[in-house]
Amino acid sequence: MKIRRWASTVTAVAVLGLSTITGATAASAQEAAPTGYVALGDSYSSGVGAGDYESGDCKRSANAYPQLWKAANSPSSFDFTACSGARTGDVISGQLGPLNDSTGLVSISVGGNDAGFADAMSTCVLQGESACLTRIQEARDYIANTLPGKLDTVYDAISDKAPSAKVVVLGYPRMYKLGGSCSVGLSEKSREAINGAADDLNDVTAKRAADHGFGFGDVRPAFTGHEICSGDEWLHSVTLPVDESYHPTAEGQSGAYLPTLESLA
């Protein structure tokens, strides 16, 4: 009987010790898990159009989806390097500094500036339908033939610097509700072409993101019913200052971009 009781005691102590070690190991692993958040990208990520900007040329908005996600989730660290006008090369050369092994989440929108969307929209507004359609087709050719390699390069750089991070790539909305409430401005054919280019950009971006194991956040469903000419726009049309034209409003950031990030983060 004494031998059995001694053996039972030893077993219980051993189990307790193992449980303690296992619990400590799990707690240490949890503490060491990468939890920092870095927000990269262009003006759609910096929040151009949403107002309440910090100083500087990047126009980072307090109403941008990265700031809203940070406020709701309190990551262990937060770096907001997205910048108005950024192309893929700008992300690589100027935005990746905060990425490291402790980065748990990265968000990014990029590619629209590489494809020349700002110039294309200016052409459409100022030069008429024929010039618009020609310029939009040039953008679509770039998206199909050149942009994939540019995206691969920036996505590879993100993976190299933050190997443990979950990366969420955010797309772009369609600009116009076709057959909507706008009675002046661009022709319907121009609006349709612009939407088609946005679809091309999203399709290419989604494919490159998937091939790198990244999540793709398609914001088009959330913006449906809130495009320009919808009567309840979450996108600016032509504005002053002009650089806010064709960018999401604060409602577009909180009502479309934020929930799309939350669904994947």
> Which are the catalytic amino acids?
43, 247
Angle (CA) 44 47 52, round 5°:
165
Check if the beta carbon of residue 50 is closer than 8 Å to that of residue 84.
no
- Could you give the C-alpha distances from 12 to 2, 21, 23, 26, 119, in angstroms and in order? 15, 14, 16, 21, 73
8 Å CB contact between 165 and 34:
yes
Give the integer Cα–Cα distance in Å for 140 and 28: 49
Going from the C-alpha of 63 to that of each of 48, 167, 227, the distances in angstroms are 9, 21, 19
In the chain, which residue ranges form alpha helices assigned H by DSSP? Answer: 2-32, 43-46, 65-73, 88-94, 117-145, 147-161, 188-211, 220-223, 250-252, 258-262
Is the bond leading into 241 cis (omega within 30 degrees of zero)?
Answer: yes
Are the CB atoms for 87 and 149 separated by under 8 Å? Answer: no
Region of residue 188 (left: phi > 0; alpha: psi -120 to 50; beta: else): alpha
